[in-house]
Structure 1
Amino acid sequence: MMCPCGATIEMLVFDGAKPRWDIAVDANGRPTLRPSVWRNTGCRSHFWLRSGRIVWCGDSETA
């Protein structure tokens, strides 16, 4: 997926992967990703993807 900073990031969503994220898509095709995305390199952003929207965490340097 694309990070809000524009970088490409990979989110592993298959069983057995570590770390691993769960993805759900609502009736309108909008994704929700769990847990949050916390980049420890690059832009160092920390956010949730909920119903296709970015929700910034308070500790994110880009919030």
Structure 2
Amino acid sequence: MRCPCGCAERLEMMLLREVKPRWDVSVDSHGHVSLSPSVWVREGCRSHFWIRSGKIVWCD
């Protein structure tokens, strides 16, 4: 996905159980995606956010 801050950085979250770090994805009955744990871009824009029910929730 592209970083939601608008910097256009390409972010990759691994979903394979064998790799670390990895993320878990869930989809609710309305088709809204949630991602866990949070996504933290450690270089560049330094965005830190959750994806909850298809929406970006920014960390302070």
Output the CA distance in 1 between the equivalents of 2:14 and 2:29: 23
Q: How big is the alpha-carbon RMSD for the aligned residues of Structure 1 and Structure 2?
A: 0.9
Moved over 6 A (4+): none
Query: Normalising to structure 1: TM-score of the pair?
Result: 0.84
Q: Give the share of equivalent positions with the same residue, in percent.
A: 55
Equivalent pairs counted in the alignment come to 58
What is the CA-CA distance between 1:12 and the residue it aligns to? 0.2
Query: Normalising to structure 2: TM-score of the pair?
Result: 0.88
Which structure 2 residue ranges, 5 or more long, are not aligned? none
Letter in 1 for 2:54: G
Which structure 1 residue ranges, 5 or more long, are not aligned? 59-63
